[in-house]
Structure 1
Amino acid sequence: MRERRGDTTSIEVKRASGGVPQLGETLCAFANMPAGGTIILGINEQGGAFTVTGTDDEAALEAGITSQARLSVSPSPQLTSQTVTVEGKRVLLVHVAPLPITERPARFGGSAYLRQSDGAYRMQDHELRMLEVARLHTEEQVSYDLTPAIGLTVEDLDPGLVRSYLATARERDRRLRERTDEEILRRTSVITAQGEPTLAGLYALGDYPQGRYPGLTVTAAVQLRGGEGQPRTRNLQDFTGPLPVLLDDLLGWALTNLDTITGYRADGHMDTVTELPMNAVRELLANALVHRDLGPNTLGMGKGVQVRLTPRALFIQSPGGLRGVALDQLESEEHAQAAVNQRLYQMAKKLRTADGASIIEGEGGGIREVFRSTADRGLPRPQLIDTGVQFKALLWRPERDVMVGPVQFPLPSAQRTEDLATRIVDEVPAPFQTRNGEQVWAVLKKAGPLSFRELQERTALSPAQLRWALREPLLDGIVTMEGGQGDRTTRYRLTPPDVRGPRDGV
């Protein structure tokens, strides 16, 4: 807390020097949180110092807080108290147990509260309706991802993604190998028996799913420190398209806006990487896209996934909380796996991004990989927050500009050295005039057409770096993609000047 200079979603600190503090809203909010929360008395948080002041009469404080919970919060949560010694002074810990989902929400003064950041806030109407739906989920399964997109057909799906999906489905499931395309789409819930795309099918494979469901739009922005009269955000961007395109584009946005840091490779040479491990960023983005709530109280109200890069962290927020797994299970070493949207989850396992990687692996160990990769970089442990109505993941940014000590970075391939030494010095088109674009231009000009993997090997770029370097050239028609997105046989080549689009200018 001293490092954060404030309370957290699950911890409230009070000095309690003047007796029992008023804690009605806090008790109510913790009771409505999936994991409850803890109140610490005997610490002064003023100025972010969190000075240990201690308590004089723990019994009186415990009795007073218990009385507040019983008389002012309904239903009343269970409290567990403990006195510990910190820096030679007694401190009282009061843990507020979460109410069972069937008894939520707890109310204080007629209003229901939830915890957000370092304080309690009054729950909004749509959040209360989401709790009602969560209670319903304990009694019967509600499958929102099976909702039919009435009036749409398979013609509204992206042909390239559909071809790739069908090929992977046949490759991985022998019971589907002899089925027709329509049978596979129907049996895997991409379309209904009437031939209409399901919500999951449209989201995963649709040409423009946001036309029917605007809430599937993802918004990303860099938040600035700016004071009054100064800009608060930059690079604000809305992302649309099916699931693989969203993930590709969001990774490109993150790669562009994250800072880079310098460290030592295993061979003693310096190298530069993004300040956050991109495999951790990818995992958390994919989880947010696939496991977001798709019910009428979120998607139906236009609530989408939000990505923000603040001076302190990259945070990814998705509508809806965890289902079928607790936060401590997700963060533990055990194999914790539960899909909020079961059909969408299975589709995502069969879909690939432009680099040929699956959207999700489906092994349930992705969060452990996030923790491992950030620990390897010496970064603070990522924070996962589940309020029951939204889920937030925070990747903390490093405080130093240059990393010290040995860090294992990928060694550049011999091919990259050769390409850099023999780089084509022709005039590079504007869309390629980026940090990595010139290198991709030179490789394609010399050796194209090439697959995504071949391009990656020859440039030694990460998948996210290569995707972003290709983005504008593809949009401008300077590069042609021969094949479908996610198809391993797809090749990229420079488009002849006489057939390029009007934006090229070359």
Structure 2
Amino acid sequence: MARTFAQLLDTLRSLGGDFTDVEVKSAAGGLPESLTSTLSALANQPGGGTIVLGLDENRGFRPVGLTNTQELKQGLAKKARAFTPPIRLTIADETVEGQPVVMAIVHECDESAKPCRISATGAAFMRGYDGDFKMSALEEQAFLSARNPPMFDRAPVLGATRAELDDQLVEDFTRNVQDRDRNGLGRFSGDELLRRAGALTADGIPTVAGLLALGIYPQEWLPRYVIQAAAEPLATDRPGTRARNQVTISGPIPRMLDAALDWARQTFDTAIVSQRDGTVVDVPAYPLAAFRELIANALLHRDLDSWSAGMAIEVRLRRDRLVVTNPGGLYGITLDRLGKEAVTSARNMWLVKICQYLRSPESGGRVIEALATGIPTITEALDAAGLPPAQYADSGIRFTVVLKTGTYTGAPQVGSKADLIGHTPAQTDRPTLNSTQQKIADLLAEGPATVPELQATVGLSAQGIRKALNGMRQAGWVEQVGGAGRRTTYRLTK
């Protein structure tokens, strides 16, 4: 129940202290630093809370005679922006016994964005009866599990019409839905199909999801839903060069994904590689399969709230690393669980629903699978290329992935079936094993095993296991026993 300031003051004085949803500070010497945790705690509290500045609890909540109320109000407003999501405040001037007092109502953080964190540290707080307590990992997970799904992607794009949707993409979407979900969504056609899929509202207006996935040019209404990519200058570039291959990629998601891959092919360093069958190919510094998953995840899971409307997805190619950043932190899952569980958690569920039925206009491959296979695919691709695992960082307001280059040891990567030109090892040498292949070798040292048996221990897909084994066979590490209708096992060569 809403309380007037007079009622609030009476309650404080009758109780002799502040309480769960009210924090009182004298603030005689300025804005207390302890309010940082209090703001987080009250924003996470059901119903929010109230902060009162200018009363002395030790003197029965008598006024201290503030002389800097404007500075205090500005300080509170500045602090409120230092949280993820930013905290909403309603600040008012009050008087007690003729002296100025500042009252700030802290509005509850939206359920879809809890817990409210301090942006600089990532810490989140809860409110006790008379104090703030840092959330435990379990408490944070409870907030994440209780989040209501955001609906920003279902919002209508005012001013847009049905004519803004790309006929080719709509046709592809319709065909795939009717092929793959013929007894569900595929029973409908035309605009009714688009409405039920969340691409159009009941009034025929494109939604954010519909425009991003199927639009001709979504950036007419969502100008910062783009990818900004650039590479760091090389030592051989002319002095003063700030970047190379700088591009801004726009369009609907399927076309943006294709354009991002084109940029990677043109920009990544490549090694000229001779395969064992005599053909020569270019091998990029970073696996394109991993890069594609990173970009698809960024496009599908970036935040679509108003606070992030001015932010783009960023791709930066440094001399020793590749950095991909998108607005918005993880949703519905914590960093320590990322890629370790088959969890599908979609911030933009309508956008994901549409995109899972779309294919690349250039390659014909699916835009996404929606099966939580993205992170495992990145892990497998990096491992097969002999590169370090991806590094993930969640700051709450942005999510960053870093891929690092590996160190060439003079031997080709096992599984590539290739030797670097000019660095072909002697035939008696065996290429070194990557981490996955080493795990397999350790298991086979105990005796022959089948792919399912290896899969159960190594934790990769059957396809990933077979790919690793094929590379080991090519390099002479293992041999296959059986096959052609018989039980197939693998064992180490002697």
The aligned runs of 1:254-265 (5 Å cut-off) are 254-263=264-273, 265=275
Query: What amino acid does structure 2 have at the position aligned with 1:128?
Result: P
CA distance in structure 2 between the partners assigned to 1:394 and 1:210 by the alignment? 27
In structure 2, what is the equivalent of residue 246 of structure 1? Answer: 256
For 1:215, what is the secondary structure of its paired residue?
A: coil
After superposition, where does 1:268-417 map in structure 2 within 5 Å? 271-299=281-309, 302-332=310-340, 334-353=341-360, 354-400=362-408, 404-409=411-416
The residue type paired with residue 368 of structure 2 is I
CA distance 1:399–1:232, change in 2 (3 Å): farther
* CA distance in 2: counterparts of 1:266 and 1:238, whole angstroms: 39
Amino acid at match of 2:153: D
Residues 8-407 of structure 1: pairs in structure 2 closer than 5 A: 74-75=36-37, 102=44, 128=86, 132-133=109-110, 134-135=113-114, 138=146, 140-174=148-182, 175-224=184-233, 230-263=240-273, 265=275, 271-299=281-309, 302-332=310-340, 334-353=341-360, 354-400=362-408, 404-407=411-414
Cα deviation code 1:330-365 (max 9, x no counterpart): 132x21221010000111100111211111111102
Q: State TM-score, norm by structure 2.
A: 0.56
Cα distance change of structure 1 residues 126 and 223 upon mapping to structure 2, 3 Å threshold: farther
Structure 1 counterpart of 2:192, one-letter code: E
- Name the CA distance, whole Å, in 1 between partners of 2:81 and 2:277: 54
User: Within 1, Cα distance between the matches of 2:296 and 2:373?
Assistant: 13
Q: Distance in 2 between matches of 1:316 and 1:101?
A: 30
d(CA) in 2 for partners of 1:369 and 1:139?
27
Partner of 1:443: none
User: Which structure is higher in RCO with an 8 Å CA cutoff and minimum separation 6?
Assistant: 1
Q: Distance in 1 between matches of 2:77 and 2:288?
A: 38
Q: Which amino acid aligns with 2:37?
A: P
CA distance in 1, matches of 2:417, 2:208: 40
Is this contact kept in 2: 1:264–1:407, CA < 8 A? Answer: no
Give the Å deviation of 1:275: 1.1
- Displacement of 1:150 in angstroms is 1.6
Determine the C-alpha separation between the residues in 2 that align with 1:258 and 1:209.
Answer: 28
Tell me if structure 2 keeps the 8 A contact 1:382–1:396: yes
- The whole-number CA distance in structure 1 between the counterparts of 2:196 and 2:221 is 23
CA RMSD of aligned residues (A): 3.7
Q: Give the percent of matched residue pairs that are identical in Structure 1 and Structure 2.
A: 32
Deviation at 1:229, TM superposition (A): 6.7
Quick one: structure 1 residues 265 and 221, their matched pair in 2 at CA, closer, same or farther if it must change by over 3 Å? same
Aligned mates of 1:271, 1:322 — CA distance in 2: 37
1:497 alignment partner in structure 2: none
5+ unaligned residues in a row in structure 1: which ranges? Answer: 1-69, 77-97, 115-121, 412-506
**Secondary structure of residue in 2 paired with 1:216:** coil
Distance (whole Å) between structure 2 residues aligned to residue 225 and residue 405 of structure 1? 25
- Give the aligned residue type for 2:224: G
Structure with greater Cα Rg: 2
Cα distance change on mapping 1:260 and 1:111 into 2, 3 Å:
farther
The whole-number CA distance in structure 2 between the counterparts of 1:125 and 1:367 is 28
Give the equivalent residue in structure 1 for 2:480: none
> What SS class does the counterpart of residue 75 from structure 1 fall into?
helix
SS at match of 1:232: coil
Runs of 4+ in 1 over 6 A off after TM superposition: 98-101, 110-114, 225-229
* Change in CA separation of 1:201 and 1:193 when aligned onto 2, cut-off 3 Å: same
- Give distance in 2, aligned partners of 1:100 and 1:371: 39
Number of matched pairs? 308
* Structure 2 counterpart of 1:347, one-letter code: I
Instruction: Judge which range, 272-281 or 242-251, deviates more.
Output: 272-281
